[in-house]
Amino acid sequence: MTFSPLTSPTSSRRRALASVAVLAALGLGASACSSDSGDTGSTSEGSGSSGDYSIAFLPKNLGNPYFDTSDQAAKKAIEGFGGEFKEVGPSEATADGQVSYINTLTQQGVNAIVLSANDVNALCDSLKEAMDADIKVITFDSDVDPSCRDAYVSASSTDLIAQSQVDLVAEQIGQAGEVAILSASANATNQNAWIEAMKTYAAQKYPNLQIVDTVYGDDDDQTSFDKTEALLSTHPNLKGIISPTTVGIAAAARYLSTSQYKGKVALTGLGTPNDMRQYVEDGTVTSFALWNPADLGVLASYTAKAMIDGDITGEEGDTFTAEGLSSDETDFTVEADGIVTLGEPFVFTKENIGQFDF
Ligand code: RAM
């Protein structure tokens, strides 16, 4: 599947993107009230009738625009098929913060938990308890060990995500020089897989490009900003930064935009068009990549539904359908290790960024 609506604008894409924008403007799915798990995060209850589809989304952290977009789209999809959407999550992107929510959701007896994991192993005990209680466990965006979930909904392949970011930075720095990585949290499964693949690919394809450092901004805006400043003073010859996180790249762009490094040190990675627009327009950033986080939320919702319905079990070759993706794609097949893949990363530039609103 490709992210075709982004490459060739159609009225259906415009409608899909417009609906995301309207939901965002209304603030749906982003309301905060006190949680019953004792964490400092929050809960957002959906209003649909529960049926058999009581589905809880657990992002890495709340207040992250990427997850706001995916979870708002999930809410719409789940309520569209008669289910009840709920979003819970910690304020900081830590595994500890997620465990208490998983335990609470298990006690509540939801039908499915859909989570983006802050750690590959640390959530496993609580997720296995959830599965033992007949709760379907779907990871999306960031996986856990395959033994601790039923299926993983991935934005794209690890290699494609890694290669697109390395190619972008290589193109911007003339394929040579020092590059550093500003990641999310140190244990994030998705970023760690992408970083490993980036290092392998860069060493093979760009022998004169050296990845000299990896630092962690914890998907926290201020920490990411401070780590960018520190990177630039630690590595005076740095030519480029890759930040494979929407929070990190936005904070790094903000730092660079008013610094002496603007236009001299390249910045790319994974960002949302809305976060990055001003930095593309002011020349701080040339290009960056992502997929549509709303589509990821919708696909994860339909994966949960298919699993609750017993249409799929996570076995390779299982097929199911999803509705409402911006690509008009409907048919999906479970791959090896219970993986469902959305599509390919898309590159945003000054020329196309105006077409997107998420
Ligand atoms: C941040 C999170 C998320 C990642 C995106 C690209 O929002 O770390 O897990 O997929 O960036």
Domains and CATH numbers, the chain: 5-156+292-345 (3.40.50.2300), 158-290 (3.40.50.2300)
- Look at residue 51 in the predicted model and tell me its pLDDT: 55
CA 206 to each of CA 2, 168, 266: distance values in angstroms, whole numbers, following the listed order = 27, 12, 16
For 190, counting Cβ atoms within 10 Å of its Cβ (0-12 exposed, 13-18 middle, 19+ buried), the class is buried
Q: Which of 120, 144, 190 to mutate to test the pocket of ligand 1 (most atoms within 8 A of CB)?
A: 190
Q: Which two tokens stand for residue 125?
A: 């005990």
The pLDDT value given to residue 27: 29
Whether 247 lines ligand 1, by a CB cut-off of 6 Å, is: yes
Question: Using 50, 70 and 90 to split pLDDT, how confident is the model at 347?
Answer: very high
* Whether residue 289 has its Cβ less than 6 Å from ligand 1: no
Q: Report the atom number in ligand 1 closest to the C-alpha of 246.
A: 11
- Alpha carbon of 324 to ligand 1 centroid (Å): 22
* Residue 246 in contact with ligand 1 by CB distance below 6 A: yes
d(CA 315, CA 338): 6
Helix (H, G, I), strand (E, B) or coil at 39: coil
- Please state whether beta strands 266-269 and 209-216 pair in parallel, antiparallel, or not at all (unpaired): unpaired
How many angstroms does the Cα of residue 182 sit away from the middle of ligand 1? 12
> pLDDT, tens digit, for every residue of 294-346?
999 999 999 999 999 999 999 999 999 999 999 989 999 999 999 999 999 99
pLDDT at site 78: 98
- Give the separation between CA 59 and CA 73, rounded to whole angstroms: 13
Amino acid letter, residue 252: A
Q: Which atom of ligand 1 is nearest to the CA of 66?
A: 7
Please choose from 191, 272, 275, 358 the residue to mutate so as to test ligand 1's pocket, defined by most ligand atoms within 8 A of CB: 191
Across the chain, mean pLDDT equals: 89
CA-closest residue to ligand 1 atom 6: 245
Tokens 């930064």 sit on residue: 241
Cα 284 to Cα 279: distance, rounded to the nearest angstrom: 5
- Res. 30: pLDDT tops 90: no
Q: Is 245 in the pocket of ligand 1 (CB under 6 A)?
A: yes
Percent of the chain topping pLDDT 90: 85
* 115 Cβ below 6 A of ligand 1: no
Q: pLDDT digit string (tens) for 159-198?
A: 999 999 999 999 999 999 999 999 999 999 999 999 999 9
Report the predicted TM-score, pTM, of the whole model to 2 decimal places. Answer: 0.88
Q: Which atom of ligand 1 is nearest to the CA of 141?
A: 10
pLDDT tens digits for range 38-90: 343 444 444 334 459 999 999 999 999 999 999 999 999 999 999 999 999 99
Rounded Cα gap, residues 49 and 233, in angstroms: 54
